[in-house]
Structure 1
Amino acid sequence: MKKRIIIIGGGASGLMAACTAAETGAEVILLEQNPSLGKKLLLTGGGRCNVTNNRPEEEIIRHIPGNGKFLHSTFTQFNQYDIMTFFIQRGVVLKEEDHGRMFPVTDKSRTILDAFIEELKRNNVIVRTNIKVDRLLMENGFVTGVQLEDSEIVLADRIVLATGGKALPRTGSKGDGYKFAKAAGHTITELYPTEAPITSDADFIRSQELKGLSLRNVALSVKNKKGKTVVSHQMDMIFTHFGVSGPAALRCSMFIHQTKKRDKTESITMALDVFPEQSLGAVEQNLQKLIKSQPEKSIKNGWKDLMPERYLLFGCEKAEIDPQKSLKELTPKEIKAFAAFCKNFEFQVNGTHPLDKAFVTGGGVSTKEINPKTMESKLTRGLYFCGELIDYNGYTGGYNITGAFVTGHAAGHHAATDEYQEA
């Protein structure tokens, strides 16, 4: 007899769960509170939908710093290459870009969403949009269905929660899944913003002297109260009117939150290295070479190719150097001071943008209470979880959506196929 499975949430993980469960032979009902499916999916990858990453599994797990190891079991069942195959078999041509990121050649998220919608139709999935679930129905430790906001009862043999986190609430991710999980006895770990721009009250941020300045291939680091580096990311970044943003900053954001909590402090030190592939000594030598090759030039002109002019002038200010004087007038102490600025400019930050402005939610349903192979609740039988609702989070670059797809596949497959032994 066919199992009836309710999937709550029509985002990336819910769509994969619904397609997988239906393909396996279950009767699937997909409930989505928005007027249409995949609202957040359409925004991913800047509207181009970075569907996964072509790096090896271990590297992908490393790029999911928030409980990524929890996903090992799901990867053995459905991995990044299976994700690619899933879309290719459904007519989506993919291309690889920098850092292993995989996109549809159309450069449109709509291509990915349309592939899912066609699959839902092909497998006769019942899709109900504009539907608000009020509560889960449970009896003797098993789920039995859901009650909708209008009091309608929909019965089911299994329920998959794919409601997302609390990031980008305009897409419908308002945290309803946490309420349902709590009602089923689950622990919700502290929620916090990740992949979020970083805020700072530093004088140079308040003065906006570097606002809008982009730096390429720099190393941005988070330091703890003992001065030790917690994490460092070598990518691009940008100074903003409120702090720092761009890929390097976004990847550091979860560590800002964690370090503040661990060190019990309101201010965190960040360090910026604009020459991450050179040692301090090598930077000093390079500065000396430029001085010897064009001693009559002003510092502003003689060092102009090292970095953007605004950052060069800012560095001169920090090193207490007049940028108008000639290179030959520089003292050894000034050269060392400027090199030190290049390699380790430290500034204070106080947090990140709030959760509702972050790209990804940190925290969620405790992984200790979920079977890592099946995604089933260890507390309530027949209840499965997938996607951002679970306490794992990754960097941008196809890692979060990979997590959504592999957990969605596991939840959909096991919800459709797992049988219970009679007591």
Structure 2
Amino acid sequence: MKYDVVVIGGGPSGLMAAITAGRNGAKTLLIEKGNKLGRKLAISGGGRCNVTNVLPDNELIAHIPGNGKFLYSAFSIFNNSSIIEYFESLGVKLKEEDKGRMFPVSDSAKTVVSTLVKQLDVLGVDQKLNTKCDAVHYGEETHEVILENEKVSTSCVVIAVGGKSVPNTGSEGQGYAWAKKAGHTITELYPTEVPMTSNEKFIKDKTLQGLSLRDVEITALKPNGKPIKSHRWDILFTHQGLSGPASLRLSQYVVKALKQFKVDNIDVNVDCFPDEGEQNLADKLMKQAKEQPNKSVKQVWKGTVPERYLIFLMEQIGLDSSTTYHHLKKKEVMDLANQLKSFRLKVNGTLSIEKAFITGGGVSLKEIVPNEMASKLMDRLYFCGEILDIHGYTGGFNITAAFSTGFVAGLNAAQRASEVRT
């Protein structure tokens, strides 16, 4: 059987590409090598599925540090408002949470995935699950997609197989070979949105394992101490280093800095009070101690930061937590304020690209038509989603890019197929 459009990969971008091609009259086949569609969608947002982010386009693009500007054309066709309208038109009610993140009211990713899968059926899109694609052969008139036990002919191919991150959802990097075969360049791949690792003794000893710090600012520093990039949100100490949204956002800058400066580790600064000056903080701590002079400083200051972190910092500066105001030295208070504002740890890298949420690098955007997602090198070939050299922070930005590029690829593949038909 000959198809107008074959979409390879059933993640967010592939689902959107197949639905859009089907809606625009193309006879469409969606191929997924796993036994379920939308596996990465199903685990996004902690299983609640952060479908998009409501920030205006220019801010959205600022949150997509990996070539976000390339998306202006795609967003002019299908952006975050379009995504919200699309899901609400299908009966999926959404709600806004902190930092512009949009979730289904049901708090379940299943709602989103099942709604998309149902649309495939409504539009008559054929689906092949548990089907591995071995190769793509490009031809003058038709392209051939080689499956395990059959060949499928199609006018247009949309490659939506993701990057190399979270391989258990099916993203194993197989699409790069098909892109290269069509003449495309793959830019260097690296992990982004990934926990950072450290060999600091307190990390190895698991002293702070499982401890979260809320609304802190963490900064990656150059070897000369100058800041590279800061992010403000929550962090989590792990048995390997640092995780949590602010750490994940900082990770790509750490990866690049280690390479750029050819060093084994770089300093990361943790500031628990980004809105307050060090002297002001010290004055506050001293005032609190003075107001309760007979209580231990641990008791007095325990609401400042989580108690385990407070005791840890006091140990760093040699301040006995049972000390009272009567024996408290001004220098000790200044030292603690300094630690609360700028606790430094050495970070030596990140977990592997397979453990990352997102892959940095991919099909070079110089070779892609931005308002079509079409290959400039091969007629009737389209790319969407994470296989492209685009990556954003967590918080709905990558899914927005996936849905947007998927929509544009599906739309243009369907239009191109109809031109070939007539």
Settle same-fold status: TM greater than 0.5.
Answer: yes
Q: CA deviation at 1:329?
A: 2.2
Task: Report the Cα distance in structure 2 between the residues aligned to 1:146 and 1:307, rounded to whole angstroms.
Answer: 57
* Deviating more after overlay: 11-20 vs 95-104: 95-104
SS in structure 1 opposite 2:359?
strand
Q: CA deviation at 1:347?
A: 0.7
Q: CA deviation at 1:163?
A: 0.4
Task: Report the Cα distance in structure 1 between the residues aligned to 2:301 and 2:158, rounded to whole angstroms.
Answer: 59
Check whether the contact 1:136–1:143 (CA below 8 A) recurs between aligned residues.
no
Which among 385, 390, 393 is matched to residue 392 of structure 1?
Answer: 390
Residue in 2 that maps onto 1:163: 161
Q: CA deviation at 1:5?
A: 0.6
Deviations 1:314-364 (A, max 9, x none): 111222222222123222222221111111011101111111111111111
Residue in 2 that maps onto 1:258: 256
Residue in 2 that maps onto 1:99: 99
Task: Report the Cα distance in structure 2 between the residues aligned to 1:78 and 1:138, rounded to whole angstroms.
Answer: 29
Task: Report the Cα distance in structure 2 between the residues aligned to 1:63 and 1:406, rounded to whole angstroms.
Answer: 15
- Give the 5 Å matches for 1:49-198: 49-139=49-139, 144-150=143-149, 152-198=150-196
Residue in 2 that maps onto 1:289: 287
Q: CA deviation at 1:418?
A: 3.8
Does residue 361 (structure 1) correspond to residue 372 (structure 2)? The answer is: no
Does residue 280 (structure 1) correspond to residue 278 (structure 2)? The answer is: yes
Check whether the contact 1:3–1:416 (CA below 8 A) recurs between aligned residues.
no
Task: Report the Cα distance in structure 2 between the residues aligned to 1:279 and 1:369, rounded to whole angstroms.
Answer: 48
Which among 319, 322, 325 is matched to residue 320 of structure 2?
Answer: 322
Check whether the contact 1:197–1:245 (CA below 8 A) recurs between aligned residues.
yes
Residue in 2 that maps onto 1:341: 339
Residue in 2 that maps onto 1:212: 210
Task: Give the partner amino acid of 2:110.
Answer: R
Task: Report the Cα distance in structure 1 between the residues aligned to 2:204 and 2:3, rounded to whole angstroms.
Answer: 59
Residue in 1 that maps onto 2:301: 303
Task: Report the Cα distance in structure 2 between the residues aligned to 1:382 and 1:282, rounded to whole angstroms.
Answer: 63
Q: CA deviation at 1:288?
A: 2.3
Relative distance call for 1:418 and 1:226 in structure 2 (3 A) is farther
* Deviating more after overlay: 410-419 vs 304-313: 410-419
SS in structure 2 opposite 1:291?
helix
Task: Report the Cα distance in structure 2 between the residues aligned to 1:253 and 1:198, rounded to whole angstroms.
Answer: 6
Task: Give the partner amino acid of 2:191.
Answer: P
Which among 408, 415, 418 is matched to residue 417 of structure 1?
Answer: 415
Check whether the contact 1:95–1:104 (CA below 8 A) recurs between aligned residues.
yes
Q: CA deviation at 1:389?
A: 0.6
Deviations 1:44-94 (A, max 9, x none): 111111110111111111111111111111000001000011111111111
Check whether the contact 1:42–1:49 (CA below 8 A) recurs between aligned residues.
yes
Deviations 1:359-380 (A, max 9, x none): 1111111111111111111111
Task: Give the partner amino acid of 2:413.
Answer: A
Check whether the contact 1:143–1:381 (CA below 8 A) recurs between aligned residues.
no
Q: CA deviation at 1:3?
A: 7.1
Aligned residues: 418
SS in structure 2 opposite 1:82?
helix
* Deviating more after overlay: 175-184 vs 332-341: 332-341
Check whether the contact 2:3–2:153 (CA below 8 A) recurs between aligned residues.
no
Q: CA deviation at 1:242?
A: 0.9
TM-align CA RMSD: 1.6
SS in structure 1 opposite 2:35?
coil
Task: Give the partner amino acid of 2:78.
Answer: F
SS in structure 2 opposite 1:157?
strand
SS in structure 1 opposite 2:44?
helix
* Deviating more after overlay: 7-16 vs 287-296: 287-296
Relative distance call for 1:222 and 1:191 in structure 2 (3 A) is same
Task: Give the partner amino acid of 2:102.
Answer: M
Structure 1 segments (4+ residues) deviating >4 Å: none
Task: Give the partner amino acid of 1:148.
Answer: L
Task: Give the partner amino acid of 1:67.
Answer: N
Residue in 1 that maps onto 2:244: 246
Task: Report the Cα distance in structure 1 between the residues aligned to 2:47 and 2:333, rounded to whole angstroms.
Answer: 45
Does residue 403 (structure 1) correspond to residue 401 (structure 2)? The answer is: yes
* Deviating more after overlay: 383-392 vs 219-228: 219-228
Check whether the contact 2:380–2:416 (CA below 8 A) recurs between aligned residues.
no
Check whether the contact 1:7–1:28 (CA below 8 A) recurs between aligned residues.
yes
Task: Report the Cα distance in structure 2 between the residues aligned to 1:37 and 1:375, rounded to whole angstroms.
Answer: 22
Deviations 1:241-300 (A, max 9, x none): 111111111111111111111111120110000111111122122122113312332221
Q: CA deviation at 1:401?
A: 0.4
Residue in 1 that maps onto 2:13: 13
Task: Give the partner amino acid of 2:41.
Answer: L
TM-score by length of 1: 0.95
TM-score by length of 2: 0.96
Task: Report the Cα distance in structure 1 between the residues aligned to 2:59 and 2:211, rounded to whole angstroms.
Answer: 31
SS in structure 1 opposite 2:39?
coil
Check whether the contact 1:143–1:380 (CA below 8 A) recurs between aligned residues.
no
- Give the 5 Å matches for 1:42-53: 42-53=42-53
Residue in 2 that maps onto 1:4: 4
Task: Report the Cα distance in structure 2 between the residues aligned to 1:118 and 1:210, rounded to whole angstroms.
Answer: 45
* Deviating more after overlay: 247-256 vs 297-306: 297-306
Task: Report the Cα distance in structure 2 between the residues aligned to 1:412 and 1:383, rounded to whole angstroms.
Answer: 11
Check whether the contact 2:142–2:153 (CA below 8 A) recurs between aligned residues.
no
Task: Report the Cα distance in structure 2 between the residues aligned to 1:82 and 1:161, rounded to whole angstroms.
Answer: 22
Check whether the contact 2:279–2:334 (CA below 8 A) recurs between aligned residues.
no
Check whether the contact 1:143–1:159 (CA below 8 A) recurs between aligned residues.
no
